[in-house]
Structure 1
Amino acid sequence: MRRAHVRGPGAQGVGKDRELAHSSVPAAEDTTSGTARDGERVPRQRRQGDGGGRRGRGDGPRRAGGRRRHRILRWSAAVLAVVIVGTAGAGYLYYRHLNDNLRKDDLNIGDKKDRAAAPRANAAGQTPLNILLIGSDARDSKENQKLGGAKDTYGTAPRADVQMLLHVSADRTNMSVVSMPRDTLLAIPECTDPDTGRTYAASTSAMTNASLERGGPGCTVATWEKLTDIHIDHFVMVDFAGVVSMADAVGGVPVCVDAAIYSHTSSGHGSGLKLRKGTTSVQGKQALQWLRTRYGFEDGSDIARTKAQHMYMNSMVRQLRANATLSNPGKLRALAETATEALTVDDGLGSVAKLYDLSKELKKVPTERITMTTMPWVYSSDGNRVLPRPTDAAKLFRLVREDIALDGKDKKKTATPTAAPEPAHSDDRIAVQVQNGTRTSTLAPVGGRASAIAALLVGKGFDKATADSSTLPVRDETVIRYADAALEGDARRVAKVLGIPAGQVKRSTDVDGVTLVVGADWRSGTKYTSADSDDTTPKSAGALNGADTKACMHVDPDYTW
């Protein structure tokens, strides 16, 4: 496959384990059978119940001489580390050559109506920065085969088995990372491959990692925007070679386990990771094993693996920012070669200069203001997949969307209300259709809810409020939609009377007139309580601070030695 093509250096195999040996990338699973690509069944007995390079390469700018040339060439110690954890280093690199290494792909290839609006600038003219980090499970080269095994999947379309949304605040004082479990079932929008022109139909329920095989990383971006309503500025897709080289370049990354661990089963599964209790500096093959370990960490789930990846990334950024050995020109050059060969980016990041500019922005964030989280989730009905956790997932996405720090250290922001247009009609002439969207991933819809709220509106003077007898798919948040600009004032008037925030009033081509969708956040009662009043990060997100040096992975007693 063109997008998954890897030109990085070779790597040694990691034994018989067929779990995907991708840097922080778990093995992909079939979205219908419930089995992994490598033939493993998703473990159910020990679970936490809650909880080629496409379109061308950059030609590069014209060569410049002397001091100016060197100033331009000086950039990140490791491009991969820059885009993941905001670390900038030093080194003189071959600018044009490195530009040629970078692969580029389209940013968003989904349906235009599903795209999230760009955030408004703050009073200082600054805007947040959202970057989607994607880890591909491509097995299209000898190097990938050595590390990933699963020869029967050679040459198949890659999947996005690691997805992390990196959000940098508008004022660059804090950074939030939200990981999505690879097994998440969600809606994937219609995507059109810009190379072949093939259009992939929208899916109402598919595993999130399948988005990558529907036209490329631009479809994964479109899927995130549809789910979260967060505008994504860039994406970076990586393979395993960059992470392994980074671990070697920094002389190892410290990781901790609370007991001796050996990730290995009698049937040959497991990453092969073998560590003593306490803190060990891992690099190369051992670092890769840490990132792909599932058997042996906590409940053996992908959620636990994500937690281990967060610990590694936090430790790596601390190590990079404190490690003076990265000034070695030879190491830097080799690292830059590997890192740029391992990256696929959107056109907006399609040169070393643009990546350097990005690194300068990321570097402004102090380590103690980096917060790693996982999308709150619940198990699906069959226990083999996960779904966004009602209310908590929507809340986490809102905090990111509204640029609210997940570490709780932001000063309370007082929003300046925007002037609402005057209603076009009096209350008794505003036609409001009420729909029941109270279904959740685990609960049936509340019967008669649309009728109850329609009656509430009639009692408040909205005589033309009516109930729609149908029930909708999962809707975490109550929203009011209006068909065209002339009805915005009417929709805002309904929201004001019910106490629904203006941010939940949205224009939509999917409705006629004004439509109130009663969501899972208003399953009972006549008074709507907005989640906007609570800006704390949900505990179910498992927040981990970047400066936490005491974090340690819990080892399953069945995998100790």
Structure 2
Amino acid sequence: MRQGSVRGDGTVPRQRGGRSADELGWDESLYEGGEDGEGGGGGDDDGPRSRHKEGDRPRPRRRRKRRALRWFAIVLAVLILGTAAAGYLWYEHLNGNIRTTPMPDGKRAAEATPNAAGQTPLNILLIGSDARDNAENQKLGGAKETFNGTALADVQMLLHLSADRSNMSVVSMPRDTLLQMPECTDPDNGKVYPATTDRMMTNASLGRGGPGCTVLAWEKLTNIHINHFMMVDFAGVVSMADAIGGVPVCVDANINSRNSKGEGSGLKLKKGTTYVQGEQALQWLRTRYGFEDGSDIGRAKAQHMYMNSMVRELRENATLTSPNKLRRLAEEATSALEVDEGLDTVKKLYDLSNELKRVPPQRITMTTMPYEYVGVRVQPKPGDADQLFRLVRDDVSLDGKDSPQKKKDRDKAREAKASDDPAAAPAETGVRVLNGTATSTTAATPGRASTVAALLQNKGYTRAAADQSSTPVQERTVIRFPSADLEGDAQALAKSLGLPLSSVEESKEVTGVTLVVGGDWRIGDVPPKPKPDEKDDKAPDTADALNGADSKACMRVNPNYTW
């Protein structure tokens, strides 16, 4: 197993040419606490303004620049590997570049059910690490006091590719989102981190067992099964800055991201559209002061705009057919990535890229998890966040453009038919009861599994028993069964509780009839009937959706940072 170096394991850093971060005017003071959170992670890294005139498309430079462009290179790498993989002369060499870490072995969310055509969706967690575990990352990240400290997952995006490969959804989670952490095991040393009852910032998950723990934290919150992860650190993306070329971005007023205290990225652009690369691209991606309310939310929106614009440029830019450029991109992409063992070869990455490239920009939807403030931190917004996660979990396109047949199949699945399997008598049916009443913002109701098990016993299900095992968040109450010979028993249980048949589902994760009491049944003797709006197939407005083909999107500039 080729391990990465995000947790300070002493891996020899990759050597890259070009000027140092100090020579580029890096402002390390921005990582010394302050608004950007704990641990020195994710501050606005400032460099000198570009020597190109604003509005001009800059000329390529010969030297590689030391510029941390972070998370967007992950998706770029996947997109370009498909075109580069034809060069199998470097196949083994490129395979050797790829670093791997195993997926977690802990309790996972159930895998998605195949659609009517037998297809399943694909979920990939994209992680940007702020690791300062070697000299190169230290120069790029600043904050000398954090050298070799615990890495933070300062960028987290869930990329969902639909089962029919017609559309793609991306959900960003702000790095300072407060969550309960699951139990995690560090694959490097076997250290076990116990589950937490108190909430922590989500970016701390990376230091509790690596990217596998970040995967588990997402699954615990969303109940969405994650198939793969892809992660980069500062050094891993530096060399790809100029390889991308100019990308057009837009601001609705002149912007100068620098205040009287010297805080800001140094981004200075004129109103309208400017092609940015290198230093200016770095500044755009890390600008917080000057965009909207100056929070990480505005920065995420700017990153979404850049990512969409970059994808459009890559598709339209004929120069990417250059063999030399493709060789360089393949080399840098494979060196930049740390992935799970399911993506450990160029062939696997190539196959994945072919899947992703099938989606046109107009079917890509970028969103931010609906949130609400808790002091200076945020938490998932009750209702809206759950709705967004449900749409992704149910493979509903966030742009509302699913085909009539897909909508018909989804409605049919919701209107489950009665099983032909005869149900056993209640007293002969064993029922395992789990407490899944936790929500994205509220802890589970204590003793709920025992309470509901007692209710079932009063209904004649004398073999019902509470299971106190940790259970992922369950938005709605469901009944699961492992095989067709228990479907009738599961449906009979649903009928006795007044639950619709659509709440009964087959799952290989259970060994018998299992009732998971959801967040909709935290109190009372009878589960509530599903609300009509629970079938709404639309992303909430608070998700701030941005379509991948929207070339007119413009960042709103804070009046205090204009010139």
**TM-score of the superposed pair, with normalisation by structure 2:** 0.77
Cα 1:462–1:326 change in 2 (3 A) is same
1:76-135 deviations in whole A, cap 9, x for unaligned?
xx98444566784357362222211111111x2252xx3022223333332211111110
Give 3-state SS (helix, strand or coil) of 1:558's partner: helix
Cα 1:353–1:510 change in 2 (3 A) is closer
Cα 1:96–1:527 change in 2 (3 A) is closer
Is 1:167–1:177's contact at 8 Å kept on the other side of the alignment? Answer: yes
**Matched residue type, 1:320:** L
Q: Give how far 1:422 is off.
A: 4.4
Cα 1:432–1:149 change in 2 (3 A) is closer
Q: 2:358 aligns with which of 361, 364, 386?
A: 364
Name the residue aligned to 2:93: 97
Name the residue aligned to 1:379: 373
Q: 1:315 aligns with which of 309, 320, 326?
A: 309
Is 2:81–2:350's contact at 8 Å kept on the other side of the alignment? Answer: no
Distance in 1 between residues matched to 2:491 and 2:122, nearest whole Å: 29
Name the residue aligned to 2:396: 404
1:413 equivalent to 2:408? Answer yes
Name the residue aligned to 1:281: 275
Name the residue aligned to 2:296: 302
Identical residues among aligned pairs (%): 55
**Matched residue type, 2:290:** G
1:349-373 deviations in whole A, cap 9, x for unaligned?
1111211111111111111101111
**Matched residue type, 1:129:** L
Name the residue aligned to 1:137: 130
Cα 1:258–1:479 change in 2 (3 A) is same
RMSD of aligned alpha carbons: 4.3
Give 3-state SS (helix, strand or coil) of 1:222's partner: helix
Name the residue aligned to 2:148: 155
Give 3-state SS (helix, strand or coil) of 1:146's partner: helix
Distance in 1 between residues matched to 2:317 and 2:122, nearest whole Å: 27
Distance in 1 between residues matched to 2:225 and 2:472, nearest whole Å: 22
Name the residue aligned to 1:15: 25
Cα 1:211–1:19 change in 2 (3 A) is farther
Give 3-state SS (helix, strand or coil) of 1:339's partner: helix
Range with greater deviation from structure 2 (2-11 or 300-309): 2-11
1:127 equivalent to 2:126? Answer no
Cα 1:173–1:433 change in 2 (3 A) is closer
Is 1:395–1:538's contact at 8 Å kept on the other side of the alignment? Answer: yes
Q: Give how far 1:8 is off.
A: 5.6
1:251-282 deviations in whole A, cap 9, x for unaligned?
21111111111112332322221111111111
Distance in 2 between residues matched to 1:429 and 1:98, nearest whole Å: 55
Name the residue aligned to 1:69: none
Is 1:28–1:137's contact at 8 Å kept on the other side of the alignment? Answer: no
**Matched residue type, 1:266:** S
Q: Give how far 1:493 is off.
A: 3.3
Distance in 1 between residues matched to 2:434 and 2:126, nearest whole Å: 38
Pairing 1:252-271 to 2, within 5 Å after superposition:
252-271=246-265
Distance in 1 between residues matched to 2:429 and 2:327, nearest whole Å: 70
Cα 1:554–1:120 change in 2 (3 A) is same
Q: Which ranges of structure 1 fall in alignment gaps of 5 or more residues?
A: 21-26, 43-77
**TM-score of the superposed pair, with normalisation by structure 1:** 0.77
Name the residue aligned to 1:49: none
**Matched residue type, 2:148:** G
Name the residue aligned to 2:191: 198
Cα 1:423–1:287 change in 2 (3 A) is same
Q: What count of residue pairs does the alignment treat as equivalent? A: 506
Pairing 1:209-288 to 2, within 5 Å after superposition:
209-241=203-235, 243-288=237-282
Give 3-state SS (helix, strand or coil) of 2:249's partner: strand
Name the residue aligned to 1:478: 476
Q: Which ranges of structure 2 fall in alignment gaps of 5 or more residues?
A: 45-71
Pairing 1:166-181 to 2, within 5 Å after superposition:
166-181=159-174
Cα 1:110–1:270 change in 2 (3 A) is farther
**Matched residue type, 2:93:** H
Name the residue aligned to 2:336: 342
Name the residue aligned to 2:380: 388
